[in-house]
Amino acid sequence: MTEKQNSPAGQEKVGVYICHCGSNIAGTINVDEVSEWIKGNPNVEVSRNYEFMCSSTGQELIENDIKEKGLTRVVVASCSPHMHEKTFREATERGGLNPFLFEMANIREHDSWATNNKEAATAKAKALVNAAVERVVHHKPLEKIPVDIDPKTMVVGGGIAGITAALELAEAGHHVYLVEREGTIGGHMAQIDKTFPTLDCSACILTPKMVDVGQNENITLLSYSEVESVDGYIGNFNITVRKKARCVDEELCTSCGICEEKCPQKVVDNNYGAGLSYRKAIYRAFPQAVPGYPVLDKENCTYFQTGKCKVCEKVCPTNAINYEQEDQLLNFNVGNIILATGYDLFDARKIPQYGYGRLPNVFSSLEFERMVNASGPTGGHILLRDGETEPKTIAIVHCVGSRDQNHNEYCSKVCCMYSLKFAHLVHEHLPEAEVYNYYIDMRTPGKGYEEFYHRLLKEGTHFIRGRVAEITDADRKPGEEGKLIVQSENTLLGVQQRNPVDMVILSAGIEARHDSEKVSKLFKMGCDYDGFFNERHPKLAPVSTMTDGIFIAGACQGPKDIPDTVAQGGAAASQVAKLISQGTVMMEPVRASIREDECSGCRICNNLCPYNAIEYDEEKKVSHVVTALCQGCGTCVAACPSGVIDGAHFTNTQILAELEGILWDMPTEMTVMEEV
């Protein structure tokens, strides 16, 4: 490893520290061998290995060596930079060096955790450590960039997560824009009758919070609105929101509801009503809607479809109906964003053998929520689809679309509990009815949850362990006529069973919003394979994202129940509040810069920059980067045909040196340098 050195030997004094991470690294990688071997690199002044480099003793090793041995560069080979880059940069700084004269090699996630082969792992560790040493000698001292935090925040989604986050921030005195796609806030919680396991009335605990949102002066509520574009970065986001035309003048409307009452057009309410009830073409989802102004649904409005009707306009006492109203584009700045966009219910029609959409008395869980709700279409009575008959036997089918490789592999987490709640509500409303819960595994972790399961056992719910195979109306033998037959294996008995029932409730799972991928792109943050937004760290940063200044809360991050959702809404608000009280954050100085004297003025970079951070100087005929806007993504660096854009901390020299270092044992003619 000598003839290919591209940094003059001995010019820098690098200290190398290999972390054992207990047995996480040292159990697979021969750390002694690696630290001994790297001493062969002429730039290495000192090489050590230590059990826990992130401990204070570990950090002191770095500080002392800088002071005592005059180190000019530091390399730590340990875990992912996501975990401890900050820790070691600070140690480097305490030792008296610029923190950017440090480089981290990830020999845990990228190496020891990825294999059991000790020999191969040790060889790879050598390459990674050598790469870091080769790179770090080219590092330049850099200064972090201070950024002011705009104290205003945008919360996207007005379900219980968004409501909680918005109220927490508003009550702390910060201004919030709460953007909601539908005509009212409330989300799924507004559709639900009772909440498990305490059985308190969902509306009773939700509506006061909705009213608070409507009345809080620090909250600008933008309902029936969608985020159109997001520019900028932490502290300085510029937002455009499309406020859709609801054809109602909010200044004039008194929310009297007469337009809704008189509207002649009845439409199935597939949203709030879960398809089980009707609404009008001009409507409020429910009487406690916030805001109370109705929305005119143009697609179903007789006037918009045929040019005749205008009943709502005629009956409105304040002339608030405005058919000419157009969408408005609103533009504002915020410092932080909280996404609380919620979930979609799994569409049970995707499992045809369960008959949803074909067999009338198969209901989805949300349909049942609406039915059992006192304000629902049956006034809280549990009835068959004919709207008259009370069922005597009810089957509740768990895991519909969840724990199923054909649909969603994950467990939706809430279905076992809400299925228990359904069983309880049936016992309460129809004491004579028999209830059968078909489950694969009962999952009831949570405060009071297992106790609730025991309560249902005592109430006489039948629990059958077995995933339902099919639901049919084709009777096979006497007793099955006119019934829905639920066919499954009772796996605890090892026998196939057919159970004739009157009603089936499908406990459909939780899915990411159908457009979550689009939304994640709009906000330039990631979502996982299933479409749920990615948190920065599953344990330690559950409401942060990889994009600074953007936080997530609630079911948009993954299936969760109301308590967890509310906790996340609060957590996201407190993350934002922390940044607001800091007032300023220091940002990575990873920025692009253009060597203007060499720029040909081709302007290719101008349009490629996703942050509009590159301006063109008409006089000098060259482009230059607006440092405050640049996010250091590197697109322009790669695209520049003249190669005159540098990405600080990611210069060509640094990256090529790193590659040289990693390929130290390759024949010269195969190295990247040769090909370039």
Partner 1 sequence: MKYGYYPGCSLEKNARAYHVSTMAVAEPLGIEFVEVEDWNCCGATEMMAIEKIPAFALISRNLALAAKQNGSTNLVAPCSACYLNLKKADHYLAEDKGLRAKVDTALEAGGLSYQPGTINVQHLLETIAVDIGYDAVEERVVKPLYSLRVAPYYGCLVPRPATMQSFDDPEHPTSLDKILQRLGATVIDYPLKAQCCGGHMTQISEDTALELIRRLLKNAADCEADMIATLCPMCQLNLDAYQDAVNAHFGTDYQIPIVYFTQLMGLAFGIPAKELGFGKEFVSAQPALDKITEEAPKPVRTRGRGKQKAELPMPTQLEER
Partner 2 sequence: MTHTLTSRPSTLLDQVIAETPGKAINLKTCLQCGTCSGSCPSGPDMDFTPRAIFSMLEAGMDEKVLKSNTPWFCVSCYYCMVRCPQEIPITDIMYTLKRRAIEAGYYHNPSKEKAPEFSETFCDFVENYGRSFELGIAMRYHLRYHPVGAMKMATGMGRKMLSKGRMDVTPTRIKNITQLKSILTKAKELGGQE
Burial 613-629 (b: 16+ CB within 10 A, else e): bbeeeeeeebbbbeeeb
Q: Which does 465 bind (CB under 5 to 8 A by kind): partner 2, partner 1, none?
A: partner 2
User: Which residues have C-beta within 8 Å of that of residue 263, sequence separation ≥ 6?
Assistant: 280, 281, 282, 283, 311, 312
Which of the listed partners (partner 1, partner 2, none) does 349 bind, with a CB threshold of 5 to 8 Å by partner kind? partner 1
Smallest separation, CB 421 to partner 2 (Å):
22
CB of 405 to partner 2, least distance (A): 5
- Helix, strand, coil share of the chain (percent; to 5): 35, 25, 45
List the structure tokens of 676: 């370039």
Q: Which residues bind partner 2 (CB under 8 A)?
A: 353, 399, 403-406, 440, 465-470, 487-491, 494-497
User: Among 211, 268, 628, 638, which residue interacts with partner 1 (rule: CB under 8 A)?
Assistant: 268
Among 81, 357, 526, 570, binds partner 1 (CB under 8 A): 357
Determine which residue in the list 39, 69, 140, 476 makes contact with partner 1, applying CB under 8 A.
Answer: 476
Of these partners, partner 1, partner 2, none, which one is at the site of residue 388 (CB under 5 to 8 Å by kind)? Answer: partner 1
Taking the C-alpha atoms of residue 367 and residue 372, their distance in angstroms, rounded to an integer, is 9
Q: Does 353 bind partner 1 (CB under 8 A)?
A: yes
Q: Is 474 in the site for partner 1 (CB under 8 A)?
A: yes
276: contact with partner 1 by CB under 8 A: yes
Task: Give the 3-state secondary structure of 4-71.
Answer: CCCCCCCCCCEEEEEECCCHHHHCCCCHHHHHHHHHHCCCEEEEEEECCCCCHHHHHHHHHHHHHHCC
Which of 171, 250, 475, 489 forms a contact with partner 1 (CB under 8 A)? 475
Q: How far is the CB of 487 from partner 2 (least distance, A)?
A: 6
Reading the block at residue 367, the tokens are 């349909």
Q: d(Cα 281, Cα 260) in Å, to the nearest integer?
A: 8
Query: 57 contacts which partner out of partner 1, partner 2, none, CB within 5 to 8 A by kind?
Result: none
Residue 618 contact partner, candidates partner 2, partner 1, none, CB within 5 to 8 A by sort of partner: none
Question: Measured from the CB atom, is 345 or 468 closer to partner 2?
Answer: 468
List the single partner that 404 binds among partner 2, partner 1, none, CB under 5 to 8 Å by kind: partner 2
**Based on CB atoms, which residue is closest to partner 1, 389 or 600?**
389
Using the rule CB under 8 A, give the single segment among 209-217, 247-255, 330-338, 472-480 that binds partner 1. 472-480
CB of 546 to partner 2, least distance (A): 31
| Residue 53 near residue 59 (C-beta atoms within 8 A) | yes
E-strand spans in 223-326? Answer: 225-233, 236-243, 266-268, 278-280, 282-283, 295-296
Task: In whole angstroms, give the CA distance from residue 449 to residue 420.
Answer: 10
Q: Residues 413, 399: contact at Cβ < 8 Å?
A: no
Decide which of partner 2, partner 1, none touches 489; Cβ closer than 5 to 8 Å per partner kind.
partner 2
Question: Of 652, 649, 665, 651, whose CA–CA distance to 130 is shortest?
Answer: 665
Chosen from partner 2, partner 1, none, partner binding at 357 (C-beta under 5 to 8 Å by type)? partner 1
Q: Are strands 44-50 and 14-19 parallel, antiparallel or unpaired?
A: parallel
Tell me which of 349, 392, 454, 521 binds partner 1, using CB under 8 A: 349
Q: How far apart are CA 72 and CA 95, in angstroms?
A: 10
Residues at the contact surface with partner 1, assessed by CB under 8 A: 268, 275-278, 347, 349-350, 352-353, 356-358, 360, 364, 367, 371, 377-378, 383, 385-388, 472-476
